[in-house]
Amino acid sequence: MQTPQNTFLTQLSGLARGGLGAPVLLMLILAMMVVPLAPFALDLLFTFNIALAIVILLAVIYVMRPLEFSAFPTVLLVVTLLRLALNVASARVVLLHGHEGVHAAGRVIQAFGEFVVGGNYAVGFVIFIILTIINFMVVTKGAERVSEVSARFVLDALPGKQMAIDADLNAGLLTREEARARREEVREEADFYGSMDGASKFVRGDAMAGILILAINILGGLLVGTLQHGLPLGAALKNYTLLTIGDGLVAQVPSLLLSTSVAILVTRISRSQDMSKQLMAQVFGHPRVLSVTAVVMALIGFIPGMPNLVFLMLAAACGGIAWMRHKNKDKVAAKPVPAAPVAPPQELSWDDVAPQDALGLEVGYRLIPLVDVRQGGELMARIKGVRKKLTQELGFLIQPVHIRDNLELAPNTYRILLHGVPLASALIHPDRDLALNSGRVYGTLNGIAGKDPAFGLDAVWIERGARDHAQTLGYTVVDASTVMATHLSQLVKEHAAELLGHDEAQQLLNALAKSAPKLAEDLVPKLLPLSTFVRVLRLLLNDRVPIRNLRGIAEALAEAAPRSQDPVALAGAVRVALRRQIVQDIGGAEAELPVLTLSAGLERVLQDSVASGAAAVEPGLAERMQQSIMQGAQRQAKTGQPAVLLVPGSLRPLLARFTRQSVPDLHVLAYDEVPDDRRIRMVGAIA
């Protein structure tokens, strides 16, 4: 059988689940300003207000990150309204029944008026003013300034953080879902600090309202007590002042707790960590600091006339804590490391001849912490993310990267190898962040000037503490691990064809056989040998065409193989079959594709050269043609559009090889590789 109390609680939980809790609470708060309340109800509500302020303060202390309490600005508004409504309700009771004595407004106000300030309204008035000054001039003003500065820095750093997320996404360090979650987190952080900047004004206004309400209640009480109820001036001053002071203290204590909560929340950093552990580790975690403090306190304790016992006791406590901290560190440092068992020497065998790694990364000794997970290194996880992203983009499994240290390298240098041959090397600073100049920055940075290894952008190696400042200036800031992972990703894309071998091609055919067994069976080896299939896939990868649409590639090969076994001709047939994918990767969803073309004279010369079987173009002509192509590609890059050269199908392989190294951003398309529904816009001719 349910009691009336249980029925009431059940109804409250039903209102909360139905989304009516907040509207009902706001209506009750507004009703308190109009409907008279009994003294017992005031006692209950004042006690609830104090308990609620304590709960909010503890929630702020134990929250791991400020964003985990994203509802705090709204909670701050509701609690401020509740306290102001209680001030109005208690003022009504004090003015109506204050002539009856100090118990007229409830036991809570009476206790704060008599017990807390000793029944002396002068002392109570001074204590109330002190609490208000602490709340208004120190805590509230400081929290308001911190909120304003935090909101400004967060909003200024928003573009840089968005660019950093895009850079991590392009480098394969983040999936699309993770990037979307990071962008949502950045947006929530900006909204939170912007709301906190405005919500801090509630606390400041509440502190000012407390002073005005105190003065109004005392003046109104004196007029009501002396003129309406005929009380002597001394009795009226005592009754109404004690009641008003008690009322003000009951409201000011939760207000101070809430102001402290605001200050704690806005001064917390954004990393996820426990505040108590952070303070203990950073304030009392250094034995040397405590030892020096103990010595200073002991010296003060020996001065004649000072309270020697108190200072010496505190010096002993600091010294004891310092000694315990020092002993704990010594125990951790002296913990024996078990020696590894010495294995007996073994005879050499063919197993000792290790195959050459497809991908290798060698690092100098100062970069080893970036690789060592036990030292907080993130490079291994980032390289795994790069491999996963490139595997999904290119369409075949990227081999693992073998990482080793190399003492022959400079301490801050790394080197990337492909089949044991060095591809590129770069110098980085593991204890700094790299600020990339994207071309839209609004200032300069102090640091070590350098270049981005992957794209050659101007950059500055900055101190980690200057990261937020650099982002506010428009720089894209990445750490050293991201620099290495991005460089590796770029090189793998450029040399993807060299990573695809016969074993990888056979794995692709095995996967195709699960979804299209007849197609896979007829293609290799009936229509094409495996070596020709591998050659076609490599030609596609050289032209930056992903091979993830393996079924479309196989069907195009099965159709073209009876006519020709030439890998170049077969790759051209596959490109025609994949023309929608190719053009989509180049131009996106735009309905119009801007292209460069060859002039009539140049096209005729090149076609004659191909028809005669010449393997190269005359050097002078090649140099002039290369300069013209580079100028056209640069003009397209300045407008933010892709550089596409549209040529006859017979010239496409020749020009693709010709421009692959000199103009890497140029896409060479044949006429029949443009879908019928895609419009073409001529932007220039190569003469």
Identify which of 412, 395, 613 has the alpha carbon closest to the alpha carbon of residue 508: 395
pLDDT at 258: 78
Last residue within a domain, chosen from 494, 512, 538:
494
pLDDT at 551: 92
Asked whether residue 628 is domain-assigned, the answer is: yes
List of residues 6+ apart from 428 with CB closer than 8 A:
367, 412, 413, 414, 434, 453, 461, 480, 483, 484
pLDDT at 290: 77
Residues 311 and 366 placed together within one structural domain of the fold: no
Strands across the sheet containing 643-647: 666-670, 643-647, 592-598, 679-686
Last residue within a domain, chosen from 577, 600, 625:
577
For 509-519, write each residue's pLDDT tens digit: 999 999 998 99
Asked whether residue 8 is domain-assigned, the answer is: no
DSSP string for residues in 594-648: EEEEE-HHHHHHHHHHHHTT-SS--HHHHHHHHHHHHHHHHHHHHTT--EEEEE-
Residues 319 and 413 placed together within one structural domain of the fold: no
Asked whether residue 338 is domain-assigned, the answer is: no
Asked whether residue 337 is domain-assigned, the answer is: no
Tokens of 310: 């108190």
Q: Report the pLDDT averaged over residues 300-329.
A: 79
Does the structure show a pLDDT above 60 at 641?
A: yes
Instruction: Please name the residue that has the structure tokens 């962008």.
Output: 183
Rounded Cα–Cα distance for residues 628 and 635 (Å): 11
Handedness of CA 553, 555, 556, 561 (dihedral sign): positive
**Amino acid of residue 289:** V
Residues 525 and 655 placed together within one structural domain of the fold: no
List of residues 6+ apart from 353 with CB closer than 8 A:
none
Range list of H helices, 171-267: 176-223, 233-267
Please report the beta strands in 347-441, taking only residues with DSSP state E, as ranges in sequence order.
Answer: 359-363, 401-405, 413-418, 421-427, 433-436
Question: For the purposes of burial, counting CB atoms within 10 Å of the CB of 664, is it exposed (0-12), middle (13-18) or buried (19 or more)?
Answer: exposed
Radius of gyration of the chain, Cα coordinates, nearest whole angstrom: 38
- Into how many domains does the chain fold? 5
Last residue within a domain, chosen from 550, 577, 604:
577
What's the farthest any 2 CA atoms get from each other in the chain? 123
For 246-257, write each residue's pLDDT tens digit: 777 777 778 778
Identify which of 409, 446, 445, 443 has the alpha carbon closest to the alpha carbon of residue 428: 409
Rounded Cα–Cα distance for residues 542 and 667 (Å): 11
Asked whether residue 566 is domain-assigned, the answer is: yes
| Contact of 596 with 645, CB cutoff 8 Å | yes
In this structure, what CATH number is given to the domain that contains residue 616? 3.40.50.12790
Range of the domain at 560: 500-577
Rounded Cα–Cα distance for residues 551 and 538 (Å): 16
Residues 611 and 660 placed together within one structural domain of the fold: yes
Tokens of 651: 């010239």
Strands across the sheet containing 401-405: 401-405, 359-363, 413-418, 421-427
Residue 131's pLDDT band (boundaries 50, 70, 90)? confident
Residue 4's pLDDT band (boundaries 50, 70, 90)? very low
Spell 138-151 as b/e; 16+ CB within 10 A means b.
Answer: ebbbbbbebbbebb
Rounded Cα–Cα distance for residues 666 and 659 (Å): 7
Rounded Cα–Cα distance for residues 182 and 179 (Å): 5
For 266-296, write each residue's pLDDT tens digit: 776 555 556 666 666 666 667 777 788 888 8
Q: Bigger pLDDT: 327 or 435?
A: 435
pLDDT at 651: 86
In this structure, what CATH number is given to the domain that contains residue 544? 1.10.8.540
Rounded Cα–Cα distance for residues 613 and 610 (Å): 5
DSSP string for residues in 213-241: HHHHHHHHHHHIIIIIS---HHHHHHHHH
E strand or H helix at 676: none
Does the structure show a pLDDT above 50 at 8?
A: no
Query: HSE on the CB side for 211, CA within 13 Å?
Result: 14
CA angle 614, 619, 620 (to 5 degrees): 130
For 359-413, write each residue's pLDDT tens digit: 999 999 889 888 887 787 888 888 888 899 999 999 999 999 998 888 888 989 9
Predicted model pTM: 0.55
Rounded Cα–Cα distance for residues 450 and 191 (Å): 35
pLDDT at 426: 92
Q: Report the pLDDT averaged over residues 36-60.
A: 81
Range list of H helices, 120-157: 121-133, 141-156
Cross-strand partners of 679:
592
Q: Bigger pLDDT: 353 or 545?
A: 545
Residues 467 and 532 placed together within one structural domain of the fold: no
Tokens of 202: 């509630």
Residues 68 and 205 placed together within one structural domain of the fold: yes
Other C-beta atoms lying within 10 Å of the C-beta of residue 564: 12
For 654-664, write each residue's pLDDT tens digit: 888 888 888 88
* Least confident interval from 17-26, 159-168, 528-537, 568-577: 17-26
> What's the per-residue H, E or C state across 485-514?
HHHHHHHHHHCHHHHCCHHHHHHHHHHHHH
Residues 131 and 229 placed together within one structural domain of the fold: yes
Asked whether residue 673 is domain-assigned, the answer is: yes
Identify which of 248, 104, 270, 404 has the alpha carbon closest to the alpha carbon of residue 278: 270
Residues 239 and 291 placed together within one structural domain of the fold: no
List of residues 6+ apart from 421 with CB closer than 8 A:
none
Residues 453 and 545 placed together within one structural domain of the fold: no
pLDDT at 5: 40
Instruction: Please name the residue that has the structure tokens 């001039």.
Output: 137
Residues 268 and 293 placed together within one structural domain of the fold: no
List of residues 6+ apart from 12 with CB closer than 8 A:
21
* Least confident interval from 262-266, 386-390, 680-684: 262-266
Cross-strand partners of 416:
361, 424
In this structure, what CATH number is given to the domain that contains residue 431? 3.40.30.60
Residue 420's pLDDT band (boundaries 50, 70, 90)? confident
Residues 599 and 532 placed together within one structural domain of the fold: no
Q: Bigger pLDDT: 307 or 337?
A: 307
Asked whether residue 633 is domain-assigned, the answer is: yes
Range list of H helices, 417-561: 467-472, 480-494, 496-499, 502-515, 517-521, 530-542, 550-560
Most confident of the ranges 121-125, 370-374, 417-421: 417-421
| Contact of 135 with 252, CB cutoff 8 Å | yes
Tokens of 127: 């204590």
Does the structure show a pLDDT above 90 at 15?
A: no
Residues 107 and 184 placed together within one structural domain of the fold: yes
E strand or H helix at 310: helix 308-334
Asked whether residue 627 is domain-assigned, the answer is: yes
Tokens of 113: 């008026």
Helices 72-97, 39-62: axis angle to 10 degrees equals 160
Does the structure show a pLDDT above 90 at 156?
A: no
Residue 487's pLDDT band (boundaries 50, 70, 90)? very high
Tokens of 50: 């104090």
pLDDT at 536: 92
Rounded Cα–Cα distance for residues 475 and 466 (Å): 11
Mean of pLDDT over the chain: 79
Instruction: Please name the residue that has the structure tokens 């056209």.
Output: 632
